[in-house]
Amino acid sequence: MLRFILGKLTYLIPTFIGITIVAFGFVRVLPGDPVLLMAGERGVSPERHAQLMAQLGFDRPIWEQYLDYLWRLMHGDLGTSLITKKPVLTEFLTLFPATLELGLCAILLATLIGIPAGVLAAVKRGSWFDQLSMGTALVGYSMPIFWWGLLLIILFSGILQWTPVSGRISLLYYFPPVTGFMLIDSLLSGQKGAFASAVSHLALPTIVLATIPLAVIARQTRSAMLEVLGEDYVRTARAKGLPTGRVVGLHALRNAMIPVITTIGLQIGVLMAGAILTETIFSWPGIGKWMIDSIFRRDYPAVQGGLLLIAGMVMVVNLIVDMLYGLINPRIRHK
């Protein structure tokens, strides 16, 4: 197992270096002078310009600048936001819990509905449930989620007035963040109605963000289940006279879960892309909205840092999924 993990790690190092090159290169290939860009509308005198160029290291050879960038990165220095003047890493970490909470709720919702739906569709192949659920899954898979979010706002916030339109919690409540998760913090605060408010704010964004993963998980579970149900050992289990529930739940599901777990893990990239759109629509103060705002504000250090952290995160999660995969499937581990 250790060799398997080490093998994966050595494989990832070049990818990570590539990611740093992209993040580093992003700012360099932008048209225009970096110092003028930072100075913005105010402009700078030629002397000050030269001084800043030297101070920021832009007058040195590009490979030296890159090594310098890597060096600072290894010390946890991702640069300073041009707008807020705060360290990019601090900004990221402050906003990250909001995205994590939303993402976890979404993936939980997608898994809890997707897997049972996929299993049931496979077991009752060709039934009305199969056709309905897979039809729905295909619609969900094809959904432009930014529109889906707007539709839900029209229905639940506009017509029914059940849920608020934006934010994480009503302005009536204030408590210091403990965990950064609004659901937990609101409970800890002990204020009446705070938890309900947090839930009502979270509901629509969660549904929107869960839509595509849910569809993918349901489809993948169904096809994995169908494949496994056709295997010899399942037929043997059936022939032994085991009840269907036991065959499906114990023999088939266990093996069908292997590709499904991989699929769930691979949804993190989908979730991060979805978070950009979902957080924009619901004004959710997380990483996705921060990234898009930073792009629009031309806050390049923030974009650079965010790009690196998000890609690094996706990479780490994929590594964990790979390891889990090796753990539950010995055939891969011992190859």
Partner 1 sequence: MSNATLPAETSSGAMRRRALADFWFYFSENRGAVIGFWIFVALALVAIFAPLLAPHDPTQQFRDALLTPPVWQEGGRPEFILGTDAIGRDILSRLIYGAQYSLFIGVVVVSIALVGGIIIGLIAGFFGGWIDTVIMRVMDVILAFPSLLLALVLVAILGPGLTNAMIAIALVLQPHFARLTRAAVMSEKNREYVIAARLAGAGRLRLMFKTILPNCLAPLIVQGTLSFSNAILDAAALGFLGMGAQPPTPEWGTMLAEAREFILRAWWVVTFPGLAILITVLAINLAGDGLRDALDPKLKRS
Question: Which chain residues interact with partner 1 by CB under 8 A?
Answer: 14-15, 18-19, 21-22, 26, 29-31, 135, 138-139, 141-144, 146-148, 150-151, 153-154, 157-158, 230, 269-270, 272-273, 276-277, 280, 291-292, 295-296, 303, 307, 310-311, 314-315
Closer to partner 1 at the Cβ: 82 or 310?
Answer: 310
How near is the Cβ of 113 to partner 1 at its closest, in Å?
20
Closer to partner 1 at the Cβ: 135 or 330?
Answer: 135
How near is the Cβ of 60 to partner 1 at its closest, in Å?
22
Closer to partner 1 at the Cβ: 157 or 189?
Answer: 157
Closer to partner 1 at the Cβ: 29 or 239?
Answer: 29
Q: Yes or no: say if 170 and 197 are a contact pair by the CB < 8 Å rule.
A: yes
How near is the Cβ of 264 to partner 1 at its closest, in Å?
16
Closer to partner 1 at the Cβ: 126 or 241?
Answer: 126
How near is the Cβ of 279 to partner 1 at its closest, in Å?
11
How near is the Cβ of 314 to partner 1 at its closest, in Å?
6
Q: How many whole angstroms separate alpha carbon 107 and alpha carbon 151?
A: 21
How near is the Cβ of 276 to partner 1 at its closest, in Å?
6
Closer to partner 1 at the Cβ: 198 or 204?
Answer: 204
